[in-house]
Each structure stands twice: as structure tokens, then as C-alpha cells.
Structure 1
């Protein structure tokens, strides 16, 4: 297995279809920007609050529909000369894969309901049940590589399975 690309992240796929096949979906990077870590993000990433982070908005599609939207944050902040929109998108596409091998994750799952934005993106009614996943991915040496907060609409064709 390629330990340095999207294939490496497939070990963290927690969605399956009705046949039990893992579903990663098609990843679309919507935007990347520099942000500052609030207390919760800093605690999860084990960095100082207020530190620059690379933030990414992404979504995943399967079967022609969006089933997951997420905001991911990484303690990786590009150098000052590489902060253009293009450079940030390139950094976000590379993510943490070029920096360290991801070997484990910590995840919390909680039920939520769709708000107006979720309803529009997922094509569901306001108030439809969703899952919210907060995931932190760690390197082999315990360094937090990325924190993701995802909103998921599984519909009738996908299931959450963490085994």
C-alpha cells in the first residue's frame, strides 16, 4: 500500500455500502485558508491556542450525491511566501501525507439535525438526522496531523462502521 497518498487514508474509512464494501467517496477540496486555532482545535492538535493552522473545506460524494462535508485543520502552516490561494490549495491537497505516516485516529460521533445549510447541501429536509464526526489523526510518533469535523448524511445506502 502507498503510505504517502490518498490510499494511506483509506485505512480510516468508516463508511460502508449495503454490500459491506468500504466507501471513501470522491473527495472535493472546496477551499483552503489560514486560520487560527481556537482552544478546542488547539487542544485536539496539541498546539498553542492562536497558532496558525491550515484549514480546509472538503466534501465527499458517493452514488452521485454529497454524503459528507467537513472542515479539517492541520498544524501545518505554509511559509509566508506560500500563502496565495493557489499555494494554500496545493498544500491542502498534499495535506499531512508528505510529512508523516498516519497510523491511528481518535473519533467521537454524535447525532445532530440538519440546519438550513446542511439541508441545501445534502438535499434533505431541515431537521433531518445527521451524524457529526470529530476525528483527530495521529502519526506513528503520536503527533496530531489533522483534526476533522464532518457532517454526514448516510441516507438509505450508506452505513457507519468503525471496526
Structure 2
């Protein structure tokens, strides 16, 4: 019988099941929007208890990988669907409804990573990055300007309008699962470019959001620096 230290170091079975199910989704065994086999079928396929399967699916729902609908089954979330919200979108209206805004691409270029960009994205200096500059509008007014950098080696398949991409959908399109995000928030004065894009006076205080999003395997997928001037929006964080 394994000693206590070995048993404690072992990954819990429900997490191993979660990893198996997620891998099947990533490789396309179950496509976005597809229905997973029911708990009994999964338990039989994997040779485990229904309770372990249920615990794995509960976690996957918390992670927004799947959606469970009572009496209908468990569905793979389709991140390209307008019905699926991006887990790291923090802007809401004053009624508490999440908003993303209309994304308008300004430029898309391929650049060599600088030392700082390489460090933030876990790349080597000079590695190819995709740089997307865009603004977001809500109710006809720009409220955010963004500069997004993505390591080119992870993204070889693109939507027709890359300028308005949703990272979760773009990642899913490239067989990648979004994991977590780290974000830094501070206040900075608007420079000339941001003032023009957001329709404010130069020097106006803006909310700066500096965020890196990682994959399920801890690879940095996107470094985004956004400048925001909230008129009809608010930045809302909920802790669970």
C-alpha cells in the first residue's frame, strides 16, 4: 500500500477525469455545442463511479468549459456564440449586465517580440507576435482602446475578421483551452492617441488594464493593455 506522502501527492481522481474529458474536447472529439455522453455512460467508459464523473463535470462547469442543462444534458460551450460570455470580461452596465461592446479593428501586424514582450508572454526575444490594435464601442461611443499581442506559434487559424476576435473563441478554433488571467489595474493620463480614440481631452484620467491570459497548460496566449473611459460602463469584479 502506498505511504501517506505518495497518496497525498497523487492527483485526485476527479481531476484526472476532468483532464481526460477536457483533452477530448480540445482535440475535437466533442465539438463546440456538442452534447457529452450522460454521466452513466461516461462512468462506464472510464471505469469509475458516477459520483466522480459528476464532480469532474461540476468543475468543468465552474471553469465554463461546459454547460449543464437539467433534463437536457451537458454541452460543450461554444465560445464563438454570442450566448457564451467571456470569463474575463469585467465590464457591466449599471443594471449589472455584462457587456463586451463592439470591437473595431484598427490594425493587424506581425512583429518581432521585444525583450519586455517576450518576458510577459514567455517567448524569446525576436519571436513572431501578432499585434492587434482596436477600440470597443458601447451605445455608439468608444470606451476602450486596446493593444493585444498574441504569440504567432499558437495561432495558425483565424476568423475572417481577426480585429474583432474573442480570445476564448480564437483559442478554441486553434484547439487551445483558455485557463486563467492575471490583470493589473491602475489610473493613467490619456495620451494623444487614446484621447483621440476615446473622444476625451488629453490628460484625462483613464483606467489602464494590463492583462495576460494563459492556457489550460499555463502558456501565455495574449498580453493586452487597454485604456478605458467609462461613461455608461463600470468595471465589476465578483469574488466567489
Q: Scaled by the length of structure 2, what TM-score is found?
A: 0.58
Q: Distance in 2 between the 1:118 and 1:34 partners? A: 22
Question: How far did 1:96 drift?
Answer: 3.1
Bigger Cα Rg: 2
Report how many aligned residue pairs link the two structures: 156
1:50 to 126, 136, 143: 126
Q: Which segments of structure 1 move beyond 2 Å, counting only runs of 4 or more?
A: 1-9, 87-97
Q: CA deviation at 1:30?
A: 2.1
Structure 1 unmatched ranges of 5 or more: none
Q: Does 1:5 align with 2:95?
A: no
* Higher helix proportion: 2
Q: More strand per residue: 1 or 2?
A: 1
TM-score between the two structures when normalised by the length of structure 1: 0.83
Q: Could you tell me how far 1:9 is from its partner in structure 2?
A: 6.2
Of structures 1 and 2, the one with the larger relative CO (CA 8 A, separation 6+) is 1
Partner of 2:108: 32
Q: 1:29 to 1:96 in 2, by over 3 A?
A: farther
Map 1:139-158 → 2, pairs under 5 A: 139-155=215-231, 157-158=232-233
Report the Cα distance in structure 2 between the residues aligned to 1:130 and 1:10, rounded to whole angstroms.
23
Structure 1 contact 110–132 (Cα < 8 Å) conserved:
yes
Partner of residue 105, structure 1:
181
CA change 1:9–1:136 in 2 (3 A) is farther
Aligned Cα root-mean-square deviation (Å) = 2.4
